[in-house]
Amino acid sequence: MNITTKGRYALRVMIDLARHQEEGFVSLKTVAERQNISMKYLEMIVSGLKKAELLESSRGKEGGYRLSRSPAAYSVGEILRCQEDNLAPVACIRDGEIQCDKAAACITIPMWKELDEITNAYLDSVSLQDLLTGEKWKTAT
């Protein structure tokens, strides 16, 4: 699995909007400046987030984008999956399904399938709120 800049930037955009949700709709220009992402690339990323219904948009002078739900209601997995072609560790697994001509004879498939399930379960267990607070990774001292 290799998370592309598209996936990483999508997380940055969602975190930015979560941090500024009290501002209502936030312009892409503002997000682009705060995150140092080109407008053209940002438009492509936001298009995928909107298509997945992770963002709401509004046109006009006070328009822009905002989260469609609370940060706790988003998983990192769903954000990445709307941007990435495939999160599986190998090309022969797509969307959790085995897609390989040699699957019947391949003794490594169960291992790759299990790794894919573990990875997706972990990414789905981390919320946008977890990223904002960092509490999930703080250890007791």
Residue with token string 């399904």: 97
The pLDDT confidence band at residue 2, using thresholds 50, 70 and 90, is: confident
Q: How many CB atoms lie within 10 A of CB 106?
A: 14
When the candidates are 3.10.620.30, 1.20.120.340, 1.10.287.610, 1.10.10.10, the CATH number that belongs to 5-136 is 1.10.10.10
Euclidean distance between CA atoms 13 and 42, whole angstroms: 8
Q: What's the pLDDT at 140?
A: 57
Angle between helices 39-51 and 28-35 (to 10 degrees): 120
Exposed, middle or buried, 116 (CB in 10 Å: 0-12/13-18/19+)? buried
Sign of CA dihedral 69, 75, 80, 86: negative
pLDDT digit string (tens) for 37-50?
Answer: 999 999 999 999 99
Whether the full predicted model's pTM is greater than 0.85, yes or no, is: yes
